[in-house]
Amino acid sequence: MTTTLLLVQALNGIQFGLILFLIAAGLTLVFGVMDFINLAHGVQYMVGAYLVAAFSAWTGNFGTALLLALPTALAFGLLLEVLIFRHLYDRDHLDQVLATFGVIVFLNQAVKFVWGAAPLNVPVPEILSGSVEIASGLLYPVYRLAIIAAGLAVAGILYGLVSHTRVGMLVRAGATNAPMVSALGVNIQRLFMVVFGFGAMLAGFAGAMVAPILSVEPGMGDNILILAFVVIVIGGVGSIRGAFLAALLIGLVDTVGRTFAPSLLRVFLDPATASQTGRAIAPMLIYIFMAAVLFFRPSGLFPAKR
């Protein structure tokens, strides 16, 4: 029983970790290449979810909705870049935090204005509904497996793009030393735009993928944004590889910790105290983990800058 539970929780953890990775990938690049703290990255995830909700209500088909939502999320990200973020690149981190905080306030209210405060539901696509038996007597929803597959596929594509293309090379170079890349004659402004739009689209994709299994509601991006920050700080700012590993770690620690912290503590404490302390400690685990990582390695596990 415990092994099946552990397996299910591990799969859930990986799925959550991959979603975190999709968000953190854009964030870490924007952060690493442009040295820009974008708190509004979480609302881009929310916008992705709302777009897919709106398009699937309109077309009645999740696949079409996803295909429509991705370019819209990209366009939306570029719009924000041109309107607001472009004016903040040469400001200090404090101003960036505050201005993007303003973007969050606006967009959280704007989706309420357009779609109402009540959570929206997106049906799981027909073809991916139901469960599959992955081990004897263990059913797991197909859609969650599809999220894992999609997440891994995107991670693979991203790896290919970043390590084997010219743009990817420039992005890596930019994360290590942006002024030098600019001095070598690269149009860094355009590189910023590409990275930014791509990051916004990835966050939107993450939002679109979870829309059928979570409720789509205003403010849904706020907490996941903080988790994405935890991921990139643990992974090392600007490092895609670090973000990937840290995202999986965080996903697993959080999901598995929430299930097993109470039962682990039962070894030391009486059941009532154990379950209470366990429930208190579980949500704090990842932050304790982050503090521990930063204590020993103040610039994360895989820092891009040297």
Interface pick for other proteins out of 108, 239, 255, 259 (rule CB under 8 A): 108
Separation CA 229–CA 292 (nearest Å): 15
Q: Report the nearest approach of other proteins to the CB of residue 92 (Å).
A: 5
User: Of the two residues 49 and 231, which places its CB atom closer to other proteins in the complex?
Assistant: 231
Q: Which tokens in the block code for residue 216?
A: 């789509």
Phi/psi at 165 (5° precision) = -125, 165
Q: Which residues contact 112 (CB under 8 A, 6 or more apart)?
A: 218
In the shown chain, the binding pattern of residues 111 to 140 toward other proteins, with x for contact by CB under 8 A and - for none, equals -xx---------------------------
Stretch that binds other proteins, among 49-57, 106-114, 165-173, 200-208 (CB under 8 A): 106-114
Interface pick for other proteins out of 63, 82, 93, 189 (rule CB under 8 A): 93
Please, which of residues 244-283 interact with other proteins by CB under 8 A?
A: 276, 279-280, 282-283
User: Of the two residues 65 and 107, which places its CB atom closer to other proteins in the complex?
Assistant: 107
Q: Report the nearest approach of other proteins to the CB of residue 158 (Å).
A: 22
Amino acid at 49: A
CA count, 13 A, side-chain hemisphere, 79: 8
User: Of the two residues 201 and 290, which places its CB atom closer to other proteins in the complex?
Assistant: 290
User: Of the two residues 206 and 282, which places its CB atom closer to other proteins in the complex?
Assistant: 282
Query: Which residue in this structure is represented by tokens 């200090």?
Result: 92
Separation CA 88–CA 66 (nearest Å): 31
Residue 47 binds other proteins, judged by CB under 8 A: no
Q: Which residues contact 225 (CB under 8 A, 6 or more apart)?
A: 23, 39, 41, 42, 43, 45
